A and B are shown apart, each in its own frame.
Chain A
């Protein structure tokens, strides 16, 4: 699969990353190499094999609906780069 400059800008946009034009070639090579490797899977015959939705032979792992203690607010906020009045503070969220 050929990775284009547009693909890189699209994926970067989805991840809210700014990638300067001078660096796109690096990522075209890296992402391209990665996808090429995954392409190997196409050589396997998967006719009649159900898609895997979960890798382990497990199902129905549930918990009862019982309240457990929450974190102290101080602890919850301790790693936040910005906080205010018990809130996490974030930069403006709406793009133009």
Chain B
């Protein structure tokens, strides 16, 4: 087992492109950082083989990432947790990995968001870490995360209309390469600004009545495209402007004591469809769908891992909202057996239907809401 920070090789599970700011954040520990091997079907197979059958799919992907990265030489794993079953991930995964014979150390960022408490945990790995140093890394990583989210938000809204195939991806890929090395908050901000300007300058062929679809649901399947079979990209390819609100920046902006006021606001926006918080992002799914409906969006896609309790709670409210207002909501539930073809068929039919509605001038009947 490692005794000084220099002996540690730190790694963490994948989620979208967040490994870039995660590397910046982890560099405060002054140890080697290993990005887990790219997500493939093998990752999922490993995760499924060693996970409890009924656990939700993000657990299996995370475990698969851990196994692949441990095999590649990592010996210090980071896992977060909270909100739902996610709160137990770190502990259960550690047990499973140890029973498989792996030797490693684990940093668990579980429970209430508390920078000081995290700092104490991290000093265990790097005793020389100062609070100021930790804060600097956190702030820079948070700024890089914001840049990443801003750029990818723009990609979702516009890339489906690119006049030259691949032009958005080219800018995006270069941005990803340049983001990690940005040494300061100012430079991360400048890179964001520059990239957004570049993307905005790319030629697009955008019809005036382009479809607008919101994507809501559970955070992991929303933010890890591999796990949702790249639905956002598939939607964009069909000429849809895709809007998503759950991002790490969004979560950080509501972390800590500000969270409860945010929740009250969401419950209010959910209107007659929710009276209480339903856990994790469930409340947000309902509130966001109602906001999007009122803003004249064409439809909403709801994604969740099979058996995700908070989102199952949200679904009942969403189904009622959809029926009361004839507002289209398409539900996808992911687990290890979900067929990619099935998802594509349903997505294609959904876009066809939205287009037919639009052509015929059908819109959600927002005046038909049931009383509270």
Q: Do chains A and B interact in one complex?
A: no
Residues on B facing A (Cβ under 8 Å): none
A residues within 8 Å of B by Cβ? Answer: none
